[in-house]
Amino acid sequence: MLNGPNLNLLGKRENEVYGEFTLQDIENEITKLVEDYGYRLDSKQSNHEGELVDILQAADGEYDGVIFNPAAYTHTSVALHDVIKAISLPVIEVHISNIHSREEFRHKSLLASVCYGQIIGFGKQGYRLAALALLPEQK
C-alpha cells in the first residue's frame, strides 16, 4: 500500500472531508484483511513525487499489486503515469473523498488510464475494496 503527500496527516487534516481515522488505522485494517487471505502488506507513505516513483520501480516483481492513493500528485504527475505504465504490477488508484464532487482541478486523474482500476469516494473503505479487488480469491 502506498500513500502520497499529506496522507500522513489523516486524522488531523480536514476531518470533514477525510474523516477521523489515521493512516495507521488504515494500515492496521488492511494488514489484517490481507493476512486473513495469507498475504502480507507493506505500507509506505511519501510526500515526495520522485520517492513515490522510486518505490513503484522497486516494487515491480516484488509484490502482487499496489493499493495507491497518490493524493495531489494524481492531478499533476506525468512521472507517476509513466512509472505505473512501465511496471507490470496491477495498481489500484484510491481516493478517500469523491474527487468529482470537489474542486474542478481534482476532477482529472493523470493516472487512471494506466491503473488497473480506480476506487473513489468511499472513505477508508476504499482501501479495503482495493485490497479485495487484488486478492485472487475475490476474482
Judged by the rule CB under 6 A, the positions of this chain that interact with ligand DQA are 6, 69, 71-72, 74, 95-97, 99, 106
Report in angstroms how near the CB of residue 92 gets to ligand DQA at its nearest.
Answer: 13
Nearer to ligand DQA among residue 72 and residue 89 (C-beta): 72
Report in angstroms how near the CB of residue 40 gets to ligand DQA at its nearest.
Answer: 24
Nearer to ligand DQA among residue 50 and residue 61 (C-beta): 50
The one catalytic residue among 75, 95, 107, 116: 95
Q: How far is CA 35 from CA 44, 65, 137, in A?
A: 17, 15, 13
Nearer to ligand DQA among residue 36 and residue 103 (C-beta): 103
Report in angstroms how near the CB of residue 77 gets to ligand DQA at its nearest.
Answer: 11
Beta strands at 2-3 and 66-69: parallel, antiparallel or unpaired: parallel
37 is catalytic: no
Q: How far is CA 58 from CA 35, 44, 82, 86, in A?
A: 22, 12, 14, 12
18 is catalytic: yes
The one catalytic residue among 18, 63, 73, 127: 18
Nearer to ligand DQA among residue 37 and residue 81 (C-beta): 81
Report the catalytic residues: 18, 95
